[in-house]
């Protein structure tokens, strides 16, 4: 999955669409934070 994410970011940058690449990175980071938060909540139960 990480290779696909990296490919999407690099392709966006190659096509000179830095805003798209930035949005992809933001959503990936948000997803990682939500995943960590949900694991933390699950461990508290």
Angle at 7 between CA 39 and CA 35, to 5 degrees: 5
Calculate ∠ Cα 29-44-36, nearest 5°: 10
Distance CA 29, CA 12 (A): 17
Q: For residue 30, give its domain range.
A: 2-44
Q: Are 26 and 18 in contact (CB under 8 A)?
A: no
**Per-residue pLDDT tens over the stretch 4-36:** 999 999 999 999 999 999 999 999 999 999 999
d(CA 22, CA 9): 8
The pLDDT, as a whole number, for residue 1 is 74
Q: How many residues does the chain have?
A: 45
Report how many domains make up the chain.
1
Q: What is the pTM of this model?
A: 0.82
């Amino acid at each position: 999955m990480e290779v696909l994410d990296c490919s999407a970011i690099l392709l966006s940058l190659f096509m000179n669409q830095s805003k798209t690449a930035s949005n992809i990175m933001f959503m990936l980071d948000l997803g990682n934070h939500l995943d960590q938060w949900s694991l933390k909540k699950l461990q508290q139960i």
